Structure 1
Amino acid sequence: MANSAAPETNRVAELSWREVESALEATRTLLVPVGSTEQHGHHLPLGVDALMPEAIGERVADRVPALLAPPVWYGVSPHHTFKPGTFTVSTETFQRYVFDVCDSASEWGIENVLLLNGHYLAQDPELEVVVRRLRTESDVEAFHVPLVDLFADVAEEIRTGAVSFHASEFETSIMLALFPELVDMAAATAVDPPAESLPLTDYDALGENRVGWALTADDMAEITDAGNIGDPTVATAEKGEALVEAAVSDVAELVAALEETE
């Protein structure tokens, strides 16, 4: 006899296959948190980039019909290997892995995939390619969703630090809102980036970045001893809640529209 009770969670990893089968009657959308495990300064844990999109995905799935996949914990992070605890994989490995994960979900009924990217900026190019492949090869409505693009307008309004590039005001605020027990604000320290950068590049998540560029591990080691770039000491949970709400509401709006077209 089939289990007709509605599952109490949208997390795929916590459901039986029968519960997933039942959930597919209400949604064909899968949220895939994609992050990395890398150094985030003295004050934040290594898993920030996966913890953030997973928590945001959970809030989205509480508002609109969607399933939440287990997060992708390993990303493209060669520039952070100058500190212990960082894992990195090649672009080719990362792209093939994420593609295969999403493609396999299409085999059991998923039609829409949102890649919630917590390691934004650094692995945006890889995920754009994955989205293209999913759309052309797997017949999946796929979207790359870098968190920074979702909360950029709100971040510009509420920021008090001049620079927030890595493990600073924005990420620290979000972690204070979502996982305060994992944040050690007493260890947070401000790190100013170089005074100048090349034209069309900027050491700021909301900066004048108009061309593709990347930092190496040697670059990072020279720029920051602590690991972060910017000032995390100005972060607050209130700022974090505003950033999270901006991201959640935008993703929920997209998911609702996708489900309406089914």
Structure 2
Amino acid sequence: MTNFFNYDDLTWDEVADLPRDTPLVLPLGSGYDTAQLQNQLSNPERCGLLPPFPFGWRNSGLEIPDQIFWGYIINLLDSLRDDGFTRVYCLAPSGIDPQSSFIANLPILRQGHVSMNQPKPFLPPDTEREKVILIPIGHTEQHGFHLPLSVDTIIIDAIAKGTVLYKSNSPDLATRSFSLPVMPYGVSTHRSSFAGTLNAGGRAFEDFWMAVIDTLVARGFNRFYLMSGHGGNTSFLINIVKYAGERHRRIFCATTWLHTSGSIGAEAIKKYRTSKIGGMGHAGELETSFMLHLRPDLCKMEKVVDETDFVSTPDYYMDWIEGGSLVANPPWDDDTKTGAYGAGSHATAEKGKLWLEAAIQEKANHVEQIHEQH
């Protein structure tokens, strides 16, 4: 019997150790029959399941043009091929049949799926038109020896869900927001340094999210908040905000530099951190604390390695809220041997809880500001 495992539960060194003929499957949505999948793959010993892609295809509830959708999927699968994996597949509902010639040879496994006979309701429902639509985007990316590939997705998903439910003292109502399902795939322009990291590609990423906004604007939605759990998404999200504002002049579309980075988040970080500047760059004190609070079962603290002795100057350094006037993108293995930029050993679940509360409060505050501006 095939042992199915979640690809994004692994650390990057565990991905590096996988045999390159291990089947890896990217499902469109969830609810597939693993026994049937086992037969389709000729009964392999192990099979890795990537995080389900949440929407974009026909009958998914939020459909975008085929060529844009499949361009995103192809780039993700190519990331795995670039890492040497030879059995890489997309798992799709029966009836999904890409027509474009450039995707004709895409390795697609198909199964009967409820969505083909009973299309999902619109996402978001039309009843949510007067709310800010939260668009949480994480990533599947290496986070050192001690954290899984799913860190960015888990954290931004928790923040988005908390934002929707957040109740302030005045008014005593949940925020006027609705969250799309979290997207577990973003952009990494330095993925080759360590195994496991995927890359949607900057242009495909921008095209995909512009198509999502186009679709929702056509349905009457007009307030959007692109929320990123991954630093590599940020510059592309800024472009999307600019494109959206130019194309749709009566909407309000916004984003920020990561989470926990505005006035509320920065104050909480300063109050509770114990690491010095450089201790929160990547897989450091902040993200590890979040994970110890949210998913301690996925943390391997016995493997944590602090790396803070990376290249920095007064105008170029890396911490959670980055500073300096220089922007650069050197290969990660120039600075880190383990994939971590920071001091994960300083992390605690208690700090993670406090920082999550601050991150949610900050996002809820942003939601109300978006309503005011629009």
SS of the aligned residue for 1:123 comes to helix
Higher CA-based Rg: 2
Q: Structure 2 unaligned segments of length 5 or more: list them.
A: 1-53, 62-119, 167-174
TM-score, length-scaled by structure 1:
0.84
- Residue among 309, 314, 320 paired with 1:193: 309
CA drift at 1:126: 1.3
* 2:238 is the alignment partner of 1:111: no
Could you list the per-position Cα deviations for residues 93-132 of structure 1 after superposition, in whole angstroms to 9, with x for gaps in the alignment?
2111122122212222221111111112x33221111111
Aligned CA distance change for structure 1 residues 252 and 170 (closer, same or farther; 3 Å) = same
- Residue among 56, 63, 79 paired with 2:190: 79
Tell me the number of residue pairs that the alignment of Structure 1 and Structure 2 aligns. 245
Task: Indicate the structure whose relative CO is greater, using CA pairs within 8 Å and at least 6 residues apart.
Answer: 1
* 2:241 is the alignment partner of 1:131: yes
- Residue among 355, 358, 362 paired with 1:250: 362
**Superposition pairs of residues 5-154 of structure 1, within 5 angstroms:** 16-17=121-122, 20-24=125-129, 27-63=130-166, 64-120=175-231, 122-139=232-249, 140-145=251-256, 146-150=258-262, 151-154=265-268
SS of the aligned residue for 1:229 comes to coil
What amino acid maps onto 1:85 in structure 2? G
- Residue among 319, 324, 327 paired with 1:209: 324
What amino acid maps onto 2:240 in structure 1? V
**How far apart, CA to CA, are the structure 1 residues paired with 2:324 and 2:287?**
19
Q: Is the 8 A contact 1:192 1:229 kept in 2?
A: yes
Q: Structure 1 unaligned segments of length 5 or more: list them.
A: 1-10
What amino acid maps onto 1:212 in structure 2? V
What is the aligned-residue identity percentage? 27
**How far apart, CA to CA, are the structure 1 residues paired with 2:220 and 2:296?**
37
**How far apart, CA to CA, are the structure 2 residues paired with 1:160 and 1:75?**
30
Aligned CA distance change for structure 1 residues 79 and 19 (closer, same or farther; 3 Å) = closer
SS of the aligned residue for 1:166 comes to coil
CA drift at 1:166: 0.7
What amino acid maps onto 1:158 in structure 2? Y
Root mean square deviation, CA, Å: 2.4
TM-score, length-scaled by structure 2:
0.60
CA drift at 1:141: 0.6
Q: Is the 8 A contact 2:177 2:367 kept in 1?
A: yes
Aligned CA distance change for structure 1 residues 149 and 69 (closer, same or farther; 3 Å) = same
Aligned CA distance change for structure 1 residues 18 and 159 (closer, same or farther; 3 Å) = closer
Q: Is the 8 A contact 2:137 2:230 kept in 1?
A: yes
CA drift at 1:261: 6.8
